[in-house]
Amino acid sequence: MIEARHLVKRFRDKKRGTVCAVNGVSFSCRPGEIYGLLGPNGAGKTTTLRMLATILAPSEGTAIVAGYDVAKDPQIVRSRVGFLSTATALYGRLSAQEMVEYFGRLHGLDEPTLRRRIDEIFTRLEMNDFRDRRCDKLSTGMKQKVSIARTLVHDPSVMIFDEPTVGLDVMAARTIVSFIRECRDHGKTVVFSTHVMSEVEKLCDHIGIIHDGKLQAEGTLPELRARFGIQDLEELFVKVVES
């Protein structure tokens, strides 16, 4: 379960002074649901998701993630969240297995559990052929699989994806999309941000359109279509952002 409550994030910028990147964002997402956060560049999507993943601390407001307050118990929240974004790179000099092992150990898994989890995940994601290959020698698709394995190793109940398909080819993007769907099917709470309307249509149970740090519209896809009287999601998105 994720429950964002009036999340605010302010940054200090040398040129612009204090900038409010996220301004009172509230939404909730239940287990077995996918919440899609849509917004143009600089709208505040990444900052919101980073606050949910406790990489950034909120300036005001808070969020309850997997039953814990992000401001009060960030470490416990991180142990229950899997966070994946295009910015979350791999350690190039570690092998695929070492990379996943490292994060498993940091999540406090004991060695027998870690072995079992790694075997399960590597088999499920068809990664056994390159498990001992260094990450910097892997193809983009293989790297994505290692990133997924890294987020899954501790079996988190909440998954957060920040534009996970940006820069990926069709095949790698499909892997991610099917993985997100799989997460929902396994009863995980999933929040993800994207630019790609087709992904939203395919995956999201709830949609939040964010612009200028504020949540401008929220609801299921049929609800939003009915409210704005527009069937095409891209048109709907543009209308919300421009209004």
Interface residues with other proteins (CB under 8 A) are 11-12, 53, 55-57, 75-76, 78-79, 81, 83, 85, 87-94, 98, 102-103, 105-108, 150-151
Nearest CB to other proteins, comparing residues 135 and 215: 135
Nearest CB to other proteins, comparing residues 107 and 206: 107
Minimal distance, residue 83 CB to other proteins, in Å: 4
Tokens 């407001």 correspond to what residue? 61
Closest CA to 195 of 82, 33, 46: 46
Nearest CB to other proteins, comparing residues 12 and 231: 12
Nearest CB to other proteins, comparing residues 78 and 211: 78
Minimal distance, residue 198 CB to other proteins, in Å: 26
Minimal distance, residue 88 CB to other proteins, in Å: 4
Minimal distance, residue 237 CB to other proteins, in Å: 27
Minimal distance, residue 134 CB to other proteins, in Å: 8
Q: Report how far apart, in Å, the C-alpha atoms of 48 and of each of 4, 70, 123, 198 are.
A: 9, 12, 33, 22
Nearest CB to other proteins, comparing residues 30 and 93: 93
Minimal distance, residue 98 CB to other proteins, in Å: 7
Nearest CB to other proteins, comparing residues 103 and 228: 103
